[in-house]
Amino acid sequence: MTATRTIVFSPDQLAEVRRLQGLYPDKRGALLPVLHMAQDAFDYVSLEVQEYVAGLFDMAPSHVHEVVTFYTLYFQQPKGRHVVAVCHNLSCYLAGSREILAHVKQRLGIGVGETTDDGRVTLQSVECLCACEAAPMMQVDDRYELNLTPEKVDRILGELR
């Protein structure tokens, strides 16, 4: 993770921000989508990123901060190259998610909310992702990984670089 990085969108990204803002009766409607963009571009939504995004919306940084801290998908700290989110809600619990989570922790050598030393994986334990028919399950970055077994978890984790 590099320590310094210029927090500025490219001209193309700025055009996309303007396009998104134009989709809503009040441009503030585009705040969540633009924060998703910012996280993709800058890895996480630091205070500096929040201040930059606030400028794009003519908002006070505190109002952007209030939004960022409300939602679970915005990271305010550096995260791993991959995010593994194990569901721990009811149907997954009934299908053995506790054992799956324990297995993931042990394989990665980290706890929930932590990132491996090599910056490869951040581990989360999350509420219902609504794939209960295929419990236990977890989300790995953009994908749902379903019907987990310890062996399947090993294979999935092993493929993360």
Partner 1 sequence: MAEIVLMRNFGRQDSHTLAGYRATGGYTAWEKAKGMEPAAITEEVKKSNLRGLGGAGFPTGMKWSFVPKTHTGPVYLVINADEGEPGTFKDRYLLERDPHALIEGMLITARAIRSAKGFVYIRGEYVQPWRIFSGAVKDAYDAGLLGNGFDIVVHRGAGAYICGEETGLLSSLEGKKGWPKIKPPFPAIKGAFGEPTVVNNVETIACVPPIINRGADWFAGLGTKTQGGTRMYSVSGRVTKPGVYEDSCAVTLRQLIHDHAGGVSHTGKLKAVVPGGGSAAILTADEIDVAMDVDGLKAKGSMIGSAGVVVMDESVSIPEALLVLARFYAHESCGQCTPCRESTGWIYKMVHRIVDGHGRKDDLDTILDVAKRGGGTTICAFYDGAIGPYISYIEKFRGEFEALCRS
Give the dihedral of Cα atoms 102, 134, 155, 122; nearest 10 deg. -50
Q: How far is the CB of 121 from partner 1 (least distance, A)?
A: 18
Residues 65 and 62: their CA atoms lie apart, in Å, by: 5
Q: Which is nearer to partner 1, 1 or 73 (CB)?
A: 73
Please tell me the distance from the alpha carbon of residue 54 to that of residue 68, in angstroms, as a whole number. Answer: 11
Q: What type of residue sits at position 151?
A: E
In whole angstroms, the minimum distance from the beta carbon of 4 to partner 1 comes to 27
Pick between residue 63 and residue 105 the one whose CB is nearest to partner 1.
63
Binding residues (CB under 8 A) for partner 1: these are 23-26, 28-33, 35-36, 57, 66-67, 70-74, 88-91, 93-95, 127-135, 139, 142-144
- Report the residue number, 4 or 72, with the smaller CB distance to partner 1: 72
Comparison of 34 and 121: residue with beta carbon closer to partner 1? 34
- Nearer Cβ to partner 1 (33/150): 33
Smallest gap from residue 74 Cβ to partner 1 (A): 6
Cα dihedral 52/76/146/154 (nearest 10) = 120
Give me the least distance between CB of 57 and partner 1, in Å please: 8
Q: Which tokens is 10 given?
A: 């490219």
Separation CA 149–CA 89 (nearest Å):
17
- The least CB distance from residue 150 to partner 1, in Å, is 19
> What is the sign of the dihedral through the CA atoms of 18, 21, 25 and 26?
negative
